[in-house]
Amino acid sequence: MSLLQPDHDCTLCPRLAAFRQENRSAFPDKFNAPVPSFGGQEARLLIVGLAPGLRGANFTGRPFTGDYAGDLLYQTLLDFGFAKGAYKADPQDGLELIDCRITNAVRCVPPENKPVGAEITACQPFLKNQIENMPNLKVILTLGLVAHNATLRASGHKQSAFKFTHNGAHDLGGGHIMIGSYHCSRYNTNTRRLTEEMFREVFQHIKSVL
């Protein structure tokens, strides 16, 4: 099954396309393009993040790779058997995901890590298409409110259908359960809105559903 992918030079979001041009000039040897998903389409778990970080996924071309949030995410995936190998913040580190795929609600890096509503909407067809083309998909883990709302809309629900709660589960229909977590961002972990233990509880929950 081939997936709908944003073009390498996607122009759906003028602000993000302009930011990409700036970054291509400033950092010509970095990835600087819409970041593709990582992991197999046959996975039962899909993790939806927010958007690539400037010096992380936008530089490396792999979701969460090189981003502060990736340290906790990939370590937790390794601990729970959703990944094997070693995470070295480098897309050539050989890390493999097991029964898990990672994507972002917005594929391009937004200025200050904040996509605007129109950008989340413009990127929605890619998320929708991906959800529809994962034949074994069972659990969607959404990291943060933007991912929660984008996943609801991509699954044909109103944003108001289910309120975000940390570690809350919602039946989206079609055999898909959505579980929400606070985003594993530097801000959330430094302020202890999200602790390692809380994040592990989310993965225990996911395991129990799978």
Which residues of this chain interact with ligand URA, rule CB under 6 A?
Answer: 49-53, 56-57, 63-64, 67, 69, 104, 143
Q: Please, what is the minimum distance in Å from the beta carbon of residue 56 to ligand URA?
A: 5
Q: Please, what is the minimum distance in Å from the beta carbon of residue 173 to ligand URA?
A: 25
Q: Which is nearer to ligand URA, 64 or 162 (CB)?
A: 64
Q: Please, what is the minimum distance in Å from the beta carbon of residue 54 to ligand URA?
A: 10
Burial of 158 (0-12, 13-18, 19+ CB in 10 A): exposed
Cβ-closest position to ligand URA: 49
DSSP string computed for 48-77: EES---TTTHHHHSSTTTTSHHHHHHHHHH
| Residue 191 neighbours by CB under 8 Å, 6+ apart | none
**Cβ–Cβ under 8 Å, residues 206 and 139:** yes
Q: Which is nearer to ligand URA, 39 or 52 (CB)?
A: 52
Residue 125 CA: distances (Å) to CA of 122, 140, 208: 7, 16, 30
Q: Which is nearer to ligand URA, 67 or 119 (CB)?
A: 67
- In 3D space, the residue among 165, 184, 98, 178 whose CA is nearest the CA of residue 131 turns out to be 178
Q: Which is nearer to ligand URA, 50 or 137 (CB)?
A: 50
Measured torsion, CA atoms of residues 97, 143, 177, 155, in degrees rounded to the nearest 10: -100
Q: Please, what is the minimum distance in Å from the beta carbon of residue 70 to ligand URA?
A: 6
Q: Which is nearer to ligand URA, 171 or 190 (CB)?
A: 190
Q: Please, what is the minimum distance in Å from the beta carbon of residue 21 to ligand URA?
A: 20
